[in-house]
């Protein structure tokens, strides 16, 4: 449908969308060097999704080498690519810091936009809490005093503050730090794969697993799902990107290639070069595989790379969460103060502070069910995201889309339906505790929406018009 043939509703809505885009973007000159360029954006997306092959080991332990290899070859096509395509189209159509909040708002109205923001923010900061704990878990291998008690508490506290300050110092600094962390953390796997070549026996790749080891398909699916997820998180940074309409699709494509190669090449090297001991394939086993292939020095490097990867994951997630709050303030979902930026670094200092404080609180709780609930909320948000994507195509057929998924409506429905099945599966296998915690957090999000509306009507806080 051409612009001249657009429906009255889309003609009326276009000024709103133009206003939305203007409000969602920070008032920075396009020449400002602090805008994100392509390379740091690629690595920020890479750390939002992956951060390296750390964590893929459970797929082998759950189902054997052949299914693990096939999983990391096939799953990107049925999950990662659809999610990345949705993110590319919507981020370039609505290039503001609200990201997925804007999409749900434009598709279904402010209530759903606000609820999307609550689901995704709570999910993000809860997952954020796990990264400093993982750092301390690696540190305790070298410094045993950090294993428990007050030393562990202070190590977690200090590491969170230090990593948060790096985020406060500027998104451009965070982006180029992510480039360095990504390169250094991937180097040991490149070396391991090269050294492994003469030791590889291709017949090991087609092994279905050891006899007597029962397959755990739930663990297998979860491992694939959570290692190839979160492509949309970077959408909350769209307002900070130099020419997002051009760079976002390129960055998503490049990060996708990097992510998939970063998983499959070390997996092929490790499973092909060493005899299968399936029950040993748990998180962290790639370090042991590196030792068997090349020696202790490579194991040590991989373990250091794991710590660097965790730092990259923390920085990427904190950026996404903080800029989401800034975007929600620009949209009028939060008081204007949430959009305040540091005069020194131009970063959303209040968003960083709030995200850090919540992450610290969660990190000192017994948060197994809370983490599972965060994943539950994320799945709800993704279902709403896919629905928003489809409905925006119906609602605004003539809207200019700098990047457009080249499919008709039926093809888009099929593309989104397949990953939605996995999301429903994740929701269906939740425990009673997960359902309860998720319901309470959802009720909090609903209550927050009405509280903000009351605050606007009573003029308790200053809001953007949104």
Please report the pLDDT score of residue 466 as a whole number. Answer: 56
Contact 272, 196 (CB under 8 A): yes
171 assigned to some structural domain: yes
pLDDT of amino acid 264: 96
Q: Decide if 27 is inside a domain.
A: no
* 131 located within any domain: yes
Give 362-371 contacts, CB < 8 A, sequence gap 24+: 362/125, 362/126, 362/129, 363/129, 363/130, 363/132, 363/133, 363/156, 363/160, 364/153, 364/156, 367/126, 367/129, 367/130, 369/431, 369/433, 369/434, 369/437, 370/126, 370/437, 371/126, 371/127, 371/130
pLDDT at 152: 86
Say whether pLDDT at 464 is over 60.
Answer: yes
Backbone angles phi, psi at 348, to 5 degrees: -75, 85
Stated as kind and residue range, the H or E segment containing 433 is helix 432-458
- Those residues with Cβ within 8 angstroms of residue 91's Cβ, 6 or more apart along the chain or in another chain: 99, 234, 235, 238, 244, 248
User: What CATH number is given to the structural domain containing 384?
Assistant: 1.20.1740.10
State the average pLDDT over residues 301-323. Answer: 94
**% the chain with pLDDT above 90:** 73
Residue 14 lies in a domain: no
Residue from 320, 290, 48 nearest 171 by CA: 320
* pLDDT average, residue stretch 280-300: 93
> Mean pLDDT for the chain?
89
> For residue 106, is pLDDT > 90?
yes
- What Cα–Cα distance (Å) separates residue 461 from each residue in 43, 325, 338, 451, 456? 37, 16, 11, 11, 7
Number of domains in the chain: 1
Q: For residue 36, which phi and psi values (nearest 5 degrees)?
A: -70, 130
Structure tokens at 88: 């590319």
pLDDT digits (tens, 9 = 90+) for 359-411: 999 888 766 778 888 889 999 999 999 999 999 999 999 999 999 999 999 99
Q: What is the DSSP string of 30-95?
A: TT-TTSB-HHHHHHHHHHHHTSSSTT-HHHHHHH-HHHHHHHHHHHIIIIIHHHHHHHHHHHHHS-
pLDDT of residue 136: 84
For 235-284, the pLDDT digits (tens) are 999 999 988 889 999 999 999 999 999 999 999 999 999 999 999 999 88
Q: How far apart are the first and last CA of the chain?
A: 29
- Domain residues for the domain of 414 are 38-458
Distance of alpha carbon 403 from alpha carbon 434, whole angstroms: 37
222 Cβ neighbours under 8 A, 6+ residues apart: 426
d(CA 239, CA 21): 9
Other residues' Cβ atoms within 10 Å of the Cβ of residue 205? 16
Predicted confidence at residue 283, as pLDDT, reads 85
pLDDT confidence of residue 367: 65
Position 16 in a domain: no
Does residue 31 fall inside a structural domain?
Answer: no
CB 190 within 8 A of CB 256: no
Determine the length of the chain.
466
Is 30 inside any structural domain?
Answer: no
The pTM of the full predicted model, rounded to 2 decimals, is 0.89
Listed in sequence order, the DSSP H helices in 197-295 are: 217-227, 244-273, 285-294
pLDDT score of 296: 93
Model confidence at 30: pLDDT above 60: no
Tell me if 431 is assigned to some domain: yes
Q: Which residues pair with 241 in a beta bridge?
A: 36
Q: What is the sign of the dihedral through the CA atoms of 303, 305, 311 and 314?
A: negative
């Amino acid at each position: 449908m051409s612009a001249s043939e657009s429906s009255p509703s889309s003609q009326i809505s276009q000024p709103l969308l133009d206003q939305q885009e203007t409000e969602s973007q920070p008032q920075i000159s396009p020449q400002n060097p602090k805008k994100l360029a392509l390379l740091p954006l690629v690595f920020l997306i890479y750390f939002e999704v992956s951060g390296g092959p750390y964590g893929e080991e459970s797929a082998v332990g759950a189902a054997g080498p052949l299914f693990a290899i096939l999983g990391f070859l096939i799953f990107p096509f049925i999950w990662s690519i659809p999610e990345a395509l949705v993110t590319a189209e919507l981020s370039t159509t609505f290039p503001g810091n609200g990201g997925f909040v804007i999409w749900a708002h434009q598709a279904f109205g402010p209530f759903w936009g606000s609820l999307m923001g609550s689901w995704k923010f709570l999910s993000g900061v809860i997952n954020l809490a796990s990264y400093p704990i993982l750092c301390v878990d690696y540190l305790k291998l070298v410094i045993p005093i950090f294993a428990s008690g007050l030393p562990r508490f202070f190590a977690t506290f200090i590491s969170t503050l230090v990593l948060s300050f790096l985020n406060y110092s500027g998104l451009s600094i965070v982006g180029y730090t992510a480039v360095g962390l990504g390169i250094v953390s991937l180097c040991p796997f490149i070396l391991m794969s090269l050294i492994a070549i003469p030791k590889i026996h291709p017949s090991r790749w087609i092994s279905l697993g050891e006899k007597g080891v029962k397959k755990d398909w739930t663990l297998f699916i979860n491992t694939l799902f959570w290692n190839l997820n979160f492509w949309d998180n970077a959408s909350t940074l769209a307002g900070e990107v130099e020419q997002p309409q051009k760079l976002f699709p390129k960055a998503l494509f490049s990060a996708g290639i990097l992510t998939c190669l970063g998983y499959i090449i070390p997996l092929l090297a490790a499973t092909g070069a060493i005899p299968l001991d399936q029950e040993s394939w748990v998180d962290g086993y790639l370090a042991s595989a590196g030792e068997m292939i090349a020696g202790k020095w490579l194991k040590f490097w991989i373990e250091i790379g794991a710590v660097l990867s965790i730092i990259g994951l923390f920085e990427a997630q904190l950026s996404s969460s903080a800029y989401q709050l800034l975007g929600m303030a620009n949209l009028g979902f939060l008081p204007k103060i949430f959009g305040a930026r540091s005069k020194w670094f131009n970063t959303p200092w209040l968003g960083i502070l709030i995200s850090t404080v919540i992450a610290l609180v969660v990190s000192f709780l017994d948060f197994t069910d809370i983490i599972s609930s965060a994943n539950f909320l994320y799945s709800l948000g993704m279902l709403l995201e896919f629905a928003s994507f489809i409905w925006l195509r119906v609602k605004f057929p003539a809207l200019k889309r700098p990047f457009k998924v080249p499919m008709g409506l039926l093809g888009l429905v099929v593309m989104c339906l397949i990953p939605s099945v996995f999301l429903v599966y994740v929701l269906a296998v939740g425990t009673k505790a997960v359902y309860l915690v998720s319901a309470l957090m959802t009720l909090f999000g609903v209550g927050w929406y009405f509280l903000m509306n009351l605050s606007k009507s009573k003029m308790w806080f200053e809001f953007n018009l949104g």
